[in-house]
Amino acid sequence: MALLQIVGRTFLSFLAAVGRLFLFMSLSISHAVRPPFYGRILGRQLLEVGYYSLPVVGLTAIFTGMVLALQSYTGFARFSAESAIPNVVVVSITRELGPVLAGLMVAGRIGAAMAAEIGTMRVTEQIDALTTLATNPYKYLIAPRLWAGLISLPLLVLTADIIGIFGGYLVATYKLDFNAATYLKNTREFLEVMDVVSGLVKAAVFGFLIALMGCYHGFHSKGGAQGVGAATTNAVVSASILILSSNYIITELFFAR
């Protein structure tokens, strides 16, 4: 009996949490598409989410591309299929590794920062102060962050795609003695528009989810420093899980037949 109660209660509180999240999301979106817009804050967030994430995302991408070339070589050399390496690198990076790894890195960087900042504003009454000054916190705090996530992540992933492919090219030409021209030709021939587009759609979804999780957990944090800490952790963990699960769903939608 007690076990059933626990199961039931957990399930109900899970449903309640999902409901709260969807309410928050629809409220945020409805404010994000209606004026007033805060361009100044959007600019600052674009800089924060997009520009300052470049080093992290770039490093992730170059090493991923490099290791991808190296690993596929050790595998493909066994049945002399080395010529497939550029194809493997370009498809893996644009379709999967670019968006997912950039998403996870940005989730750690930005999701945490958003949750901590908004959470601190919540527990120090700054959000109440905003409301008192007749400024809607959804419009002022949340909408610019959602837009920044939605816009920045595709741009970051596009950069990551280029850097990742370049990483693979570096290892292939300098270490594995590929002919540079052939490698690039193979890369270009095998790459399809859909590979990049699907990756960018993923990136936009991930960017939105990262910002949404950061804002949601920050906005609902309570109880001082500990509450803000918990909000930060929850934002990163939930954003990462949502990235991985929505990645599967989007892949299914794009490529399953």
**What residue ranges bind another protein (CB under 8 A)?**
117, 120-121, 124-126, 128-136, 140
To another protein, the closest distance from the beta carbon of 153 in angstroms equals: 22
Instruction: Compare residues 121 and 213 and give the one whose CB is closer to another protein.
Output: 121
Cis preceding linkage at 36, omega within 30: yes
Which tokens is 77 given? 């050399």
Q: Does residue 66 sit in helix, strand or coil? A: helix
In this structure, are residues 79 and 181 in contact, taking their beta carbons and an 8 Å threshold?
Answer: no
Closest separation in Å from C-beta 45 to another protein: 11
- 34 or 188, CB closer to another protein? 34
Give the C-alpha separation, 85 to 69, whole Å.
6
Alpha-carbon torsion (176, 61, 236, 241), positive or negative: negative
Shortest distance, position 42 Cβ to another protein, whole Å: 14
Considering the complex, state which of residue 117 and residue 195 has its C-beta at the smaller distance from another protein. 117
Please, what is the minimum distance in Å from the beta carbon of residue 128 to another protein?
5
Cβ proximity to another protein, 23 vs 194, nearer residue: 23
Give CA–CA dist 35/148, Å, rounded: 16
Q: Which DSSP state fits 134?
A: T
